[in-house]
Amino acid sequence: MGSGFPIAGAALLVFLAGAAPGFASCAGVAPDQRQQNSFPQDIGRTLDRITDEGWIEIAVYEDFPPWSYLANGQPAGIDVDLARLIGGDLGVETRIRMVQAGETLDQDLLNYVYKGAAVGGHVSNLFLHAPYDVDYACRFDQVVFTGIYAEEHLAIAYARAEYPEKPPVPAFFRYDTVGVENDSISDFFLTGLVGAAGDKVHRYPNVAQAMAALVAGDVMAVMGPRAQLEAGATDAIGIHEPPFLGLERSKWTLGLALSTQHRPLGYAVDDIIGAAIADGRMERIFADHGVTYLPAVR
């Protein structure tokens, strides 16, 4: 699992460091560098078919609170609520598909957006929590990235009692204990760029468990995506965003992905998301989960 969306930390580090800010064109991407796939048949379902049949399937990551997870056996989370908003505004039933994260985002897009897994796989109509980056998108002929709905930022959660005067910055963790998700960008950043001591970095299977350790007093701080930190915080925990020197990018934009064959669906959903941002429904979804809404430039 990686920070921000569930892909491997090394892959996310490459994505964040290698993607240049701004909206570059695809002029520098040779066709043989792109992920190619010829379509033997139609992939997915058209907007007209979705409307006629009365349902849409939207893929979200499993076990990824506060974004998407099971609560009492039912899908819950920010992305799940957004998926239901999309279905509701389209006037159709929303069918939530909880999917497992692959080793890379490329693999997730192949499995859930434009081809389907080799054994028993199928594509979903929409895939939420896709990072929106023009340079990355240039590698794909088969995927449309649209529906920008939020930003995610790296941050540090800390015990206020341990840092009564000022919040910790990454250099503190050469001496102070810090929790991270194993093999995440936070793990790589602290051990590789900051030089945090091996016995000071405590690794956990996910951010939720790292935050539980912080609340229990097992570590002094946790580094990870802000939304996940906020979801596990108490009044005794502070959260801030210090400079992450040496890291090319500490924030990224979230949107959705769908097959390039179904651009009309993408246009319709992008309009729905824009309306939900404008009328405050998007911010209310985040607030319902105890998370600060960080709007992105659309």
Q: For residue 270, what are the CA distances in angstroms to 83, 132, 237, 251, 253?
A: 12, 13, 36, 21, 14
Strand-pair partners of 253: 151
User: Among the CATH numbers 3.90.400.10, 3.40.50.1580, 2.60.40.2250, 3.40.190.10, which is that of 153-240?
Assistant: 3.40.190.10
pLDDT at residue 198 in the model: 79
Cα–Cα dist 258/44, whole Å: 9
C-alpha span between 99 and 70 (Å, rounded):
12
Q: Kindly calculate the radius of gyration of the chain based on its CA atoms and give it in whole angstroms.
A: 19
Domain boundaries, the chain: 45-151+250-288, 153-240
* DSSP class per residue in 98-109: EE---SSHHHHH
Q: Do domains 45-151+250-288 and 153-240 have the same CATH topology?
A: yes
Q: What integer pLDDT is reported at residue 29 of this predicted model?
A: 62
* Residue 247 · residue 193 · CB < 8 Å: yes
- Give per-residue burial for 58-94: e unless 16+ CB within 10 Å, then b: bbbbeebbbbbbeeeeebbbbbbbbbbbbbebbebeb
Q: How far apart are CA 174 and CA 104, in angstroms?
A: 30
Q: Note the helical H segments in the chain.
A: 9-18, 47-53, 78-90, 105-109, 134-137, 185-188, 207-216, 226-231, 263-278, 281-288
- pTM, full prediction: 0.87
27-30, long-range: CB < 8 A, 24+ apart: 29/138, 29/139
Asked whether the beta carbons of 83 and 62 are under 8 A apart, the reply is: no
Cis peptide before 66 (omega within 30 of 0): yes
Centre a 10 Å sphere on the Cβ of residue 210 and count the other Cβ atoms it contains: 29
* Class of domain 45-151+250-288 as given by CATH: alpha beta
Of residues 176, 269, 166, the one with CA closest to residue 220 = 176
Q: Which residues contact 161 (CB under 8 A, 6 or more apart)?
A: 236
Question: What is the pLDDT tens value at each position of the chain, 298 positions in all?
Answer: 454 556 544 445 445 544 444 444 576 666 555 555 544 455 789 999 999 999 999 999 999 999 999 999 999 999 999 999 999 999 999 999 999 998 889 999 999 999 888 777 799 999 999 999 888 888 888 999 999 999 999 999 999 999 999 999 999 999 999 999 999 999 989 988 888 877 899 999 999 999 999 999 999 999 999 999 999 999 999 999 999 998 888 999 999 999 999 999 999 999 999 999 999 999 999 999 999 999 999 9
Under 8 Å between Cβ of 115 and 212: no
C-beta of residue 191 within 8 angstroms of C-beta of residue 184 = no
